[in-house]
Structures are given as C-alpha cells and as structure tokens.
Structure 1
Amino acid sequence: MCYYEKRLKTCLNVLQEESRDLLHFHKNIPFVEVEENNERWIWNVYREYVAKNMPVVIKNACRNWKATKLWSVDYFLEKIPDKDVTVAITPNGYADGLIDVTNNDSHTEFFVMPEERTMKMTEFLNNMTAPKDNFVCYIQKQNSNLLDDFKELINDVDIELNWAQQLFARKPDAVNFWMGDKRAVTSMHKDPYENMYCVINGHKDFILIPPTDLPHVPYKYYPVGTFKNVTPSGYEIEPKLNDSVGDFVVKTTPPINSCQERIKKKPENCKYEMLNWIAVDPLNPKTDLYPNFRKTNVYNVRINEGDCLYLPSLWFHHVQQSHACIAVNYWYDMDFDIKYCYYKMLECLS
C-alpha cells in the first residue's frame, strides 16, 4: 500500500469514527409520538431528524386511518376480488437480489429481478392464505401503484400526508402499496428519496446503515437476469445480454421505482448487461470475504402496525416482513444540496 492509499484509508476511517461519535445513534433508532392538534412535534422531527438526515420512528402516524382498521386479506377479498394486480414472483423471496447460478459445473452470481405477472387479486390473496413452496408473491410495483392501480383504496389512507408535506415542502413523487409473503425480502440498497414508510397491517423489520459508512459497504459487478416461468417445481433465469457501443453499455433511464445503480462501463469481455450492486447480505455478511463490513453502524428496527418510519435519502436498508403484511410508503425527492455533493465525493473515494 503506497503513501496515498494509506492516507486515503486514514481519512475514511476518520470520517467513520467522527460520524459514529457525533452523528449516529449509539444504540437504537429513536421514536417520536404524533401529537394531535399540536404541530410542535412536526418541527421537532424536522430539526432533530430530517435536517440531519437521521431516521426516526413516528408512532401512531397512521393508527387512525381507515386502512389500518380495515385492510386485510378478508377485506380485499370482499372489496376488490376481481381486480387485476401486478405481482412480483420469485422462488426464494429475493426480488432484485443475488442468486448463484450453476451452468455446466461453473458458478456465476447473478443479480436477478422478479418475474412480473398479472393476476386477479383473489389469486394473489389465495397465495397469502395458502403459500406454496418455491413460489413467493409480493405486490411491490413501486410506480405510485396505490394512485394508479388501487384507486378503490385511496380514500382509506391520508393520501396527502400533510405533516410530511410540511417537512419536505413538496408533495410526494410516488405513493406505493405493498403486500406480500413473509418470505419476501428486499435486499440491501439505497434510494435517492426521502421515504415515509407506513405499516398498515403486520410489521416490517428494517436493517439500516448510514450513508457515511459507504466505504465499508462492498459493491461488485454482477450480470443481470430475470426470473421466468416460476412454479413450485422450478424456474428459469433469463440473462440480459448487453447491447454495447465501444466501452459503453446502452441503457434506458431507470424508472422511478428503480433502486438499482446502472453502470456505464462494462467489465471486459462480458456478454451480459452488468450492474454495480451491494455484495453483502446483512443477514449473512460473510465478513471473512468482506472484513471492512464489520466497521459499519448497523441498526435494526421493527415498524409495527400504525407506525411510520422516516427513512432518509441514501441510507442503506434491508427489509423483511410478517406474513401478508400491508404497507404504504411515500417517496419525496431528496434535496440535492451540499450533503449530496459530499456523498458523491465519498463515492468516488471509496
């Protein structure tokens, strides 16, 4: 290791230590209570958490919604049984995650996206009440699907979320509906959005890592594929071949629901479209391969029914849930201010 590499490593360690001591929580993610007829709690959330890009649990934020009182498998069977819904289907629960693919005695780790199928809500709900092995269903479309695909349910929630609009001085870019199997897992990633995540039924378990720990979160290039023909007895993975011109992979602009970071440069001699993705699973981090991951500040928090998590932009997060858990989240575009500029510099240095 040369002098400059040592110097850079020292600087990154200083950032990690100073941020841990001065910015981050020492134990648990804190919580605040909603105060009816008193807006002081909103400004306290802004001052102590939003302005500092720090997460907080907002207790009882959606406790009084009609959705929290009504939404369930039985309610949806009565209310929208014949509705066509888009469902993400995987054999292992990992939509947008890593899977080892064996082909002719060789092993390649792929980043694999879910198979998307349109089915009646009744069929989806039957998969909640009688789940099948190797067939995991999750409504997770993320393209503001509550507003576009579930218009019948809009009046059951606070669609404006006025107190959050006060925090961010803007309306949400997207309002998303989530419901799925307890085996469904959201692999660790980060988003360029301020996220208000409201749990309507059941609970969600989040693993959070602050953006200042980026140097200790390993990334690797992975070929991209999609699950196809998923059944309880098997599945296929369809690789995405790249269409390259010179050194650049031709890509379309990722949609609003994309939490993937498309790379512009491809590894040499690679026939697949490639993705720069987090190499570590926080449930099984394999710190023998990625020892620096031990340095990260890892927070575990459960969001219960009626509560909301403020998940700041660029925080790494991994999510699990109870069975048939229902949630609604609101995405607000982040401020691309000096914090973002420093983060981009940290990306280049890591």
Structure 2
Amino acid sequence: MPASGAGGRRRGLSPAAGFAGVRRTRGRSLGGRGLAAAAASWRRRPWTRCGGSYENSRPPPGSSVCLLLCPTWTSPPLHCTSTETGSAPIGPASSVTPCSTGQPCRSGPSLISVGSTEVSVAVTPDGYADAVRGNRFVMPAERRLPLSCVLDVLEGQAQHPGVLYVQKQCSNLPTELPQLLSDVEPHVPWASEALGKMPDAVNFWLGEAAAVTSLHKDHYENLYCVVSGEKRFLLHPPSDRPFIPYELYTPATYQLTQEGSFKMVDEEAMEKVPWIPLDPLAPDLARYPSYSQARALCCTVQAGEILYLPALWFHHVQQSHGCIAVNYWYDMEYDLKYSYFQLLDSLTKASGLD
C-alpha cells in the first residue's frame, strides 16, 4: 500500500515555492520543458559513505561511478510580481505576458483562486503519518484546508494543532490543484517511453520539516521531482528484505479534538496491517539485530532534480521545511522481478528472520 510520503511525504519554504500562484515565495517552476529537458541532461553522481550508508555528492571531474541515476533539469528564471500579500512567483519567463518588472513572464493562475482552493491535509501530532506508534499502525487525521491556510502555518503566520502535510496522493495534483497543471508536464517523457506506459497518478507534496515518511516500499515506479527545498531519502534495495522486519498491527486513525489534542481510534473493521516498526535513523538493534546487515543508501534530492525510485525499493523520507514536490507513479510490471521479490519475502518469513 502506498504510504504518505514519498515518498513519501515536499520541502523548503521560506524559500518555499515554485508554482505559479503560490504566494510570498521564491523558487523554481517545473514549467515549460522542465521535465522533458531532463532526458537530455542525465547526470551520474558518485556515492560516498555517510555514517554507515551512502551519500550522493556532486561529481568530481571525470567521475563515472554511480549506483543510481539522478537526472536534473535547468528551470527558467522566475519573475515576481508584488501583491497585497507580498511578492509571488508568476512562472518561468516563457511567454509574452509582462509582469510588474517589465520583463516577460508566464501568466499563472490567480493567487486568490489558488490560495482559496481547499486541499486534503494530513495532520499528526508528531509528523509521522502511516507509521507504527506503540502497538498500532496509525493513519493521520485528514482535514480540508485552504492552501493559503497551509502556507500561513508553514510561514509561521498562523497556528494549527499538530504537523501539516499535503500528501493525499491518489493523483491529488489534477484533482485538487488543477490550476497548477500548466506548470508541470503531464508525464515524464523519457520515463513513459522507457516504461511503455503513462503514469497512474501525479501527486503534489507540501509539508513541514517535521513531516517524515516511515520506512516502506511501493508497487510503483516512482519519478520524484523536487520543485523547492530538498528531500532526503534513505533507501534499501529489495535484496535487503531479509534484514528489514515486518510485524502485524491493529490499524488506527488519529482524530483531532475540538481542544486541539489527538486521540487514536481503532479501525475495527480493518484487518491487521503489516508494517516496518524499525526507525532506520535510530534502529533498535537489540530488538532487530538483523538490520545491522542491511546497507542503506542516503540521497538528497534538491530543487530542480528528479530521483528515479524503482518499485519495491524501501525508502524513508525527510524534507526541508515547506518543501514542494511532484511525483509520478507508474504501475510496476508484475514480472520476474516481482516473482524474485516474492520468493525472497517468503523465504524470509519461513526462516523466521522477520
């Protein structure tokens, strides 16, 4: 089951934005040929050790060492216009519409129409949505809030109980924020060609630094595009499955009371959920000693970059405050690769390693 977060779960506000119509922010847009141009600018990054895992860094001249390919694009510069609420990026300089600077810029959707648009927001007491808490697998409370309200909270101009994260998934970009569709490509052309299909979903992510995606895997080929801020991925290949524990948990959902406190309410009609109880940033090796044999990769994806995250790769995701991202989910092929993983998963359970 897809989890909240990227990877789940976008960052870096206060320079937070990049979409036309998102107010009071500076950043980059995915407009124009942004994603399409990525196909022509593949960049191989070397990986260096980072405290027991690997960290990607800018490639030194002549380097060709890599474990993953991380394409990047160059976004056109933004031109800002002043409004009663501050300075807001209108879009890349790609059309003939003049803005208040007198320079050409792309005309974006109305600031009022975007700001007043209600979006589904996950609300949790600690930033962990879809995660193990005690002996429960807890899902977030969900609220419908105007996008302007979310931005006010992220910028410290308003308060809201708990930690906010726009992470609805289910293709929430076209369904909840269609005004922003003109700023992004409908798909990643080189990925669609390579995978032989169009994406099943295009998702929008915006949240606080405290919003964290717990370790999980997805049955999707994932093209994760950071618009503003950065995402920090901790990754495990499917071959690490024997060292990654799963346990069954009673599902529950956070409920936000009128007083602003949270309570867990069991979802009694649902079956128990298999989930990973381990926090890879602070693993309890006394309880899960096998995890010491796993080898994590750490990857920081910055604004203007795409991470290709293959299906069935385990990932834990953090973000800078107010990070904005868009990801494209392509359904995986249930082919020999999936059969190999199922075999490994079954052998792990049969041997008692789980």
User: Could you tell me the TM-score, scaled by structure 2's length?
Assistant: 0.69
User: 1:122, CA displacement in angstroms?
Assistant: 1.6
User: 1:56, CA displacement in angstroms?
Assistant: 2.6
User: 1:69, CA displacement in angstroms?
Assistant: 7.9
> C-alpha separation between the residues in 1 aligned to 2:235 and 2:218?
12
Residue in 2 aligned with 1:119? 145
Give 1:64's match in structure 2, choosing from 39, 64, 75.
75
Contact 1:186 1:319 in 2 (8 A): yes
Taking every aligned residue pair, what percent have the same amino acid on both sides?
Answer: 39
> C-alpha separation between the residues in 2 aligned to 1:306 and 1:237?
38
Contact 1:77 1:121 in 2 (8 A): no
Give 2:241's match in structure 1, choosing from 196, 205, 214.
214
Give 1:175's match in structure 2, choosing from 188, 202, 205.
202
> C-alpha separation between the residues in 1 aligned to 2:278 and 2:113?
41
Give 1:317's match in structure 2, choosing from 315, 318, 333.
315
Contact 2:137 2:251 in 1 (8 A): yes
4+ residue runs of structure 1 moved beyond 4 angstroms? 34-42, 72-79, 131-134, 230-233
User: 1:237, CA displacement in angstroms?
Assistant: 0.7
Task: String of CA shifts for 1:140-180, please: whole Å, max 9, x gaps.
Answer: 01100111111100000112321211121110010000000
> Which structure 2 residues correspond to residues 191-230 of structure 1 after superposition, within 5 A?
191-229=218-256
Residue in 2 aligned with 1:303? 301
> C-alpha separation between the residues in 2 aligned to 1:232 and 1:132?
14
Q: Quick one: structure 1 residues 232 and 298, their matched pair in 2 at CA, closer, same or farther if it must change by over 3 Å?
A: farther
> C-alpha separation between the residues in 1 aligned to 2:244 and 2:41?
37
Unaligned runs of 5+ in 2: 1-34, 45-66, 81-85, 90-109, 349-354
> C-alpha separation between the residues in 2 aligned to 1:142 and 1:328?
10
> C-alpha separation between the residues in 1 aligned to 2:71 and 2:229?
16
Contact 2:153 2:160 in 1 (8 A): no
Unaligned runs of 5+ in 1: 1-33, 45-53, 101-108, 243-250, 252-272
> C-alpha separation between the residues in 2 aligned to 1:239 and 1:65?
48
> Which structure 2 residues correspond to residues 256-267 of structure 1 after superposition, within 5 A?
none
Give the aligned CA root-mean-square deviation in angstroms: 2.9
> C-alpha separation between the residues in 1 aligned to 2:316 and 2:38?
34
Task: String of CA shifts for 1:306-326, please: whole Å, max 9, x gaps.
Answer: 000000000000000001100
User: Alignment length, in residue pairs?
Assistant: 267
- Higher relative helix content: 1
SS of the aligned residue for 1:179 comes to strand
User: 1:222, CA displacement in angstroms?
Assistant: 1.1
> C-alpha separation between the residues in 2 aligned to 1:114 and 1:302?
26
User: Could you tell me the TM-score, scaled by structure 1's length?
Assistant: 0.70
Amino acid at match of 1:347: D
Contact 2:41 2:71 in 1 (8 A): no
Q: Quick one: structure 1 residues 291 and 65, their matched pair in 2 at CA, closer, same or farther if it must change by over 3 Å?
A: farther
User: 1:98, CA displacement in angstroms?
Assistant: 1.5
